[in-house]
């Protein structure tokens, strides 16, 4: 079946370094991709999104890259801070449906 | 600020009990969703609703039902709770068919 997956379940980075979280998706019909951040005890929160007609989108300290050729999505966090410690989910949506498909999540640890 | 409120953060129920999880959003969103979150499995869609009194099955609807009598309120019902329904339940809403989801804080249910 269609799925969205993550390459690494955990990622540990030093404070101040850049973080890269990767995601593979398998539904070539998906046209909208979102990254969510979930802090402990909270619901997921939107970070950044990208549509399939783009290959890069930048926000504040975050960048999402989309490679449709290999069905790969990544989230880059610049100058990672302790407050970035959380679980990050990639998600895909589209193909005319209401369903958003989530990956399993990557836990980011930021070492001080 | 947009807000999705889940009435119960923590519940402990016994096998066979009927369980109601309530969710209210104050954003006048058309769409509301119930997800279940389990470690390593990401978020899985149980049911969603795109209008009052309308409901659609998600990926794992078995053992659950929903009710949407008012636009702002979406309830998840476990008719007869079982131990394998122990999980974190997340309610979300959004105003359009694709687009970011706004999540509540989650309801952690333990079925003994």
- Please give the span between the terminal C-alpha atoms of chain B, in angstroms, as a whole number: 37
The answer to whether B63 faces chain A, any CB pair under 8 Å, is no
* Residue of A31, A43, A104 with shortest CB distance to B42: A104
| Percentage of the residues of chain B whose pLDDT score is greater than 70 | 96
Instruction: Test B97 with A98 for CB contact under 8 angstroms.
Output: yes
Picking from A99, A103, A95, A97, the residue whose alpha carbon sits closest to that of residue A24 is: A103
Contact criterion met (CB below 8 Å) for A108 and A87: yes
Q: How far apart are CA A77 and CA A66, in angstroms?
A: 15
Instruction: Test B48 with A99 for CB contact under 8 angstroms.
Output: yes
Across B97-106, average pLDDT: 87
Asked if residue A8 has pLDDT above 60, the reply is no
Backbone angles phi, psi at B68, to 5 degrees: -135, 90
Across B83-110, average pLDDT: 92
pLDDT digits (tens, 9 = 90+) for B7-61: 899 999 999 999 999 999 999 999 999 999 988 788 999 999 999 999 999 999 9
pLDDT at A95: 58
Asked if residue A2 has pLDDT above 50, the reply is no
Q: What is the mean pLDDT of chain B?
A: 93
B90 is written with which tokens? 């997340």
* Residue of A32, A43, A105 with shortest CB distance to B103: A43
Distances (CA, A) of B77 to A14, A48, B21, B69, B72: 44, 32, 6, 14, 17
Interface test with A, best of B27, B41, B43, B102 (most A CBs within 10 A): B43
Q: Which residues of chain B have a CB within 8 Å of the CB of A34?
A: 100-101
Q: How far apart are CA B61 and CA B106, in angstroms?
A: 18
Instruction: Test A9 with B4 for CB contact under 8 angstroms.
Output: no
Contact criterion met (CB below 8 Å) for A85 and A109: yes
pLDDT at A26: 77
Contact criterion met (CB below 8 Å) for A106 and A73: no
User: Beta strands A86-94 and A100-102: pairing type?
Assistant: antiparallel
Instruction: Test A43 with B98 for CB contact under 8 angstroms.
Output: no
A56 is written with which tokens? 């890069």
Instruction: Test A98 with B105 for CB contact under 8 angstroms.
Output: no
Instruction: Test A97 with B97 for CB contact under 8 angstroms.
Output: yes
Per CB distance under 8 Å, which residues of A are interface residues toward B?
A: 4, 9, 31-32, 34, 36, 41-46, 49, 89, 93-94, 96-100, 102-105
For residue B80, the SS3 value is coil
In sequence order, what E strands does B1-112 have? 4-6, 10-13, 19-25, 31-38, 42-49, 56-57, 65-70, 73-78, 87-94, 102-103, 107-111
Please, is B35 exposed, middle or buried when counting C-beta atoms within 10 Å of its C-beta (0-12, 13-18, 19+)?
A: buried
pLDDT digits (tens, 9 = 90+) for A22-78: 999 878 888 899 999 999 989 999 999 999 999 999 999 999 999 999 999 999 999
Across B79-96, average pLDDT: 94
Residues 6+ apart with CB under 8 A from B15: B81, B82, B83, B111, B112
């Amino acid at each position: 079946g269609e799925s969205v997956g993550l390459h690494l379940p955990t990622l540990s980075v030093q404070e101040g370094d850049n973080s890269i979280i990767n995601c593979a998706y398998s539904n070539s019909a998906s046209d909208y991709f979102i990254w969510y951040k979930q802090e402990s005890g909270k619901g997921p929160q939107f970070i950044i999104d990208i549509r399939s007609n783009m290959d890069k989108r930048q926000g504040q300290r975050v960048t999402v890259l989309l490679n449709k050729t290999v069905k790969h999505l990544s989230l880059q966090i610049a100058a990672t801070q302790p407050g970035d410690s959380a679980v990050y989910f990639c998600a895909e949506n589209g193909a005319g449906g209401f369903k958003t498909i989530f990956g399993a999540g990557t836990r980011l640890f930021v070492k001080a | 600020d947009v807000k999705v409120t889940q009435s119960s953060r923590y519940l402990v129920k016994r096998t066979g009990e009927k369980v109601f999880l309530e969710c209210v959003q104050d954003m006048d969103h058309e769409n509301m969703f119930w997800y279940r979150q389990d470690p390593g499995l990401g978020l899985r869609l149980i049911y969603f609703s795109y209008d009052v009194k309308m409901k659609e099955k998600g990926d794992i609807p078995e053992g659950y039902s929903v009710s949407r009598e008012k636009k702002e309120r979406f309830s998840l019902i476990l008719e007869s709770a079982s131990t394998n329904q122990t999980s974190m339940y997340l309610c979300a809403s959004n105003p359009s068919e694709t687009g970011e989801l706004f999540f509540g804080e989650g309801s952690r249910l333990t079925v003994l």
